[in-house]
Structure 1
Amino acid sequence: MPNVTLQYLERRLNQPLAQAWQPITADDLTEIPLLGRVSAGMPIEACPEVGSIQVPTRMVRRNTYALRVCGDSMVDCNIFDGDVIIIERRESAENGETAVVMINDQEVTLKKLYIEKSGVRLQPANERMAPIYLRNDDIQVIGLVMGVVRQAELAA
């Protein structure tokens, strides 16, 4: 396998996600679990796979793991198909946060989460895609996006 250059992007807090990514250097690496794939499109069945990925230590918190993104529903937040997202395990999200959400204990998806009077709206960051509307009881937040690992060849 050819040597692939990775680009590490850390999330700057209190910034809109599309502008929140700050490139960081990979001086000190830590291994975290790569737990499978997450759909950035239509929700896909949660299919765990066990692996690991090296990330800069400063991107790792208490409950950090990684998922590979499949799809292009989050392109306006600068998260692309094939990226690996660094997730901090959380059970709740603020309105408008980009979260990994489990639907009906079966499917996982990556979307912006909005709490509305009638339930929950999972909003893609891609104007060509429609939001998903669900009842509060149908979803469970499982983590928030804190970073991105991208192959440098894919970087724009």
Structure 2
Amino acid sequence: MDIATCQFLERLPNLPIADSWAPVDSTSDALVEVPLLGQVSAGMPIEACLDNATLQVPSRMVRRNTYALKVCGNSMIDCNIFDGDVIIIERQESAENGETAVVMINDQEVTLKKLYIEKNGVRLQPANETMPPIYLNNSDIRVLGLVMGVARQEEMAA
């Protein structure tokens, strides 16, 4: 991803994710390299495959355990996360109800969804009304991190 043609969006706290994106001025902030670990599905879960690439992001978007993943699919479009975006993730092992999380399913597949803890297990909810939720047992999933930002190619920026 060419940093010169990239728009960065940072997640603002305490707002629904669809309304919480604020532009980050990448020219006034020092850039920091974070690992670009591969792809995450915003659709049907895909096999987890690690890359060894890096991405330069504004330092204000980097916390302690930050990494990036390229989004493949359209299941999160109502959260303003689109196919081809690179999401900035803070590594965490848990998520609150309704948070947008990167989740590993059965230690094999990775997906990006809103996570809801329900009586009978977990619901992974797409942010796209044309797509159905995924229902799983608690033991079938592992939270890998929460979305903190987005890097988007300028020609795709809204």
Q: Same fold (TM over 0.5)?
A: yes
Q: Residues 131 and 15 of structure 1: is their aligned pair in 2 closer, same or farther, counting only changes over 3 Å?
A: same
**Which residues in structure 2 correspond to 1:6-155 (within 5 Å)?**
6-26=6-26, 27=28, 28-155=30-157
TM-score normalized by the length of structure 2 = 0.96
> Runs of at least 4 residues of structure 1 off by over 2 A?
1-4
How far apart are 1:4 and its partner, in Å? 5.1
Distance 2:52 2:105 in 1: 21
Task: Tell me the secondary structure at the aligned position of residue 143 of structure 1.
Answer: strand
- Give percent identity, aligned residues only: 74
> What letter corresponds to residue 19 of structure 1 in structure 2?
D
Distance 1:106 1:152, change over 3 A: same
Q: Judge conservation of contact 1:38–1:110 (CA < 8 Å) in 2.
A: yes
Q: Check conservation: 1:100, 1:141, Cα contact below 8 A.
A: yes
Alpha-carbon distance between aligned partners in 2 of 1:64 and 1:112, rounded to the nearest angstrom = 19
What is the CA-CA distance between 1:42 and the residue it aligns to?
Answer: 0.1
Structure 1, 25-34 or 66-75: larger mean CA deviation: 25-34
User: TM-score, normalising length from structure 1?
Assistant: 0.97
Contact map agreement 2:3 2:56 (CA 8 A) in 1: no
Gaps of 5+ in 2: none
Distance verdict in 2 for CA 1:3–1:124, change over 3 Å = closer
Structure 1: 5+ residue runs without aligned partners?
Answer: none
Q: CA deviation at 1:24?
A: 0.9
1:141 aligns to what SS in structure 2?
A: strand
Which amino acid in the other structure matches residue 101 of structure 1?
V
Q: How many residues align?
A: 156
Q: Which amino acid aligns with 1:32?
A: V
